[in-house]
Amino acid sequence: MMLHHGGVNRLRCSKVKDRHLAATWSERASVHIWDLTRPVGAVTEPSSAAGFIAEQKKHPVIPTFTFAGHMDEGFAIDWSPSGNGQLLTGDCKSNIHLWKPREDGTWNVDQRPYAAHSASVEEVQWSPNERSVFASCSVDKTIRIWDTRANHLKACMLTTKAHDADVNVMNWNKNDPFIASGGDDGVIKVWDLRQFNKGKAIATFKHHTAPITSVEWHPTDKSIFAACGADDQLTQWDLAVEVDDTSSDENVKEVPPQLLFIHQGQKDTKELHWHPQIPGLIISTALDGFNVFKTISV
């Protein structure tokens, strides 16, 4: 266990070279980097756990780096999937900062923010294929695509008004040029980046009855994603499913055909993730704990 100054708004982990790192957004408007190499080693090698616990009492794990330059707290945070140690953080004052690692194990945080949004940045995410490209979504109802190679004032390359309410979450498909987004209106949309400037989603799903709190594509099946919301539902979807015009059941017609599965039983579900190695396994966190489950259809 490690002591954190202030509530943890969001946490993201990455392995950079031989180090296990975690970045945390604090409610005190600071972002901390933690080196979890030794704690992870204590978990994977039980023989070293006792020694680590004893050392923790004398020398507790503290952040290896802290950035306090944001103007407000935030929730948006993402490590580069390339494993190069680059990090993005976005705050409630609409600013996004880029972090680049130094040779001494610290980070250089660019003081010039990406500031095209006009309200709180809710999510940032690196492109899975383009090392310099990332996406962001905001309370200003837009999704924006950025390129870090460009000047900060011109780095926003594409913009679309994505929802009629705050855009809470989004996730980049690792196999196709698609982004899934979830709004405060409970609506889930799928965007094709090749048609992004047209401002029209290729799919819109209206099933959830409260704000969407998390959305994520299946790591290997490019047509499947999962989402959860403040209505205490976690849903699985498949874009490849087509409408069955022969169905005569009126109740069935009210259910989107792409909706595969509904998981319930948790209170105020906050986040979900697919397991990267076990196909179809999902872990979800909520106010009352977390669930780990797998359906037979995915």
Give a yes or no: residue 143 inside a domain. no
Q: Where is pLDDT greater, at 147 or 105?
A: 147
Mean pLDDT for 17-27 is 96
Give a yes or no: residue 250 inside a domain. yes
pLDDT of 133 reads 98
Determine the structural domain holding residue 224 and report its residue range.
162-298
* pLDDT per position as a tens digit, 23-40: 999 999 999 999 998 888
| Whether 159 contacts 116, CB under 8 Å | yes
Structure tokens at 54: 């004893």
Q: Return d(Cα 68, Cα 231) in angstroms, integer.
A: 34
Instruction: Quote the number of domains for the chain.
Output: 1
Report the b/e string of 186-208 with b at 16+ CB within 10 A.
Answer: bbbbbbbbeebeeeebeeebebb
What is the CA angle 20-268-168, rounded to 5? Answer: 70
Q: What is the pTM of this model?
A: 0.92
CATH number at residue 223: 2.130.10.10
Mean pLDDT for 136-151 is 98
Give a yes or no: residue 10 inside a domain. no
Give a yes or no: residue 287 inside a domain. yes
Distances (CA, A) of 77 to 4, 30, 82, 210, 237: 17, 12, 15, 23, 25
pLDDT of 107 reads 97
pLDDT of 2 reads 79
Give a yes or no: residue 200 inside a domain. yes
pLDDT of 233 reads 98
- Cα 16 from chain centroid (whole Å): 19
Give a yes or no: residue 98 inside a domain. no
Give a yes or no: residue 24 inside a domain. no
pLDDT of 243 reads 74
Give a yes or no: residue 97 inside a domain. no
Task: Name the least confident of 164-168, 186-190, 245-249, 273-277.
Answer: 245-249
> Of 103, 80, 85, 188, whose CA–CA distance to 137 is shortest?
188
The proportion of the chain whose per-residue pLDDT surpasses 90, expressed as a percent, equals 83
pLDDT of 249 reads 60
The residue length of the chain stands at 298
pLDDT of 247 reads 58
Q: Where is pLDDT greater, at 198 or 226?
A: 226
* pLDDT per position as a tens digit, 91-122: 999 999 999 999 999 999 999 999 999 999 99
pLDDT of 248 reads 56
Q: Please report which confidence band the pLDDT of residue 48 belongs to, taking 50, 70 and 90 as the band edges.
A: confident
Helices (H), the chain: 37-44, 49-58, 250-253
pLDDT of 78 reads 99
* pLDDT per position as a tens digit, 204-248: 999 999 999 999 999 999 999 999 999 999 999 999 998 766 655
Q: Return d(Cα 54, Cα 249) in angstroms, integer.
A: 64
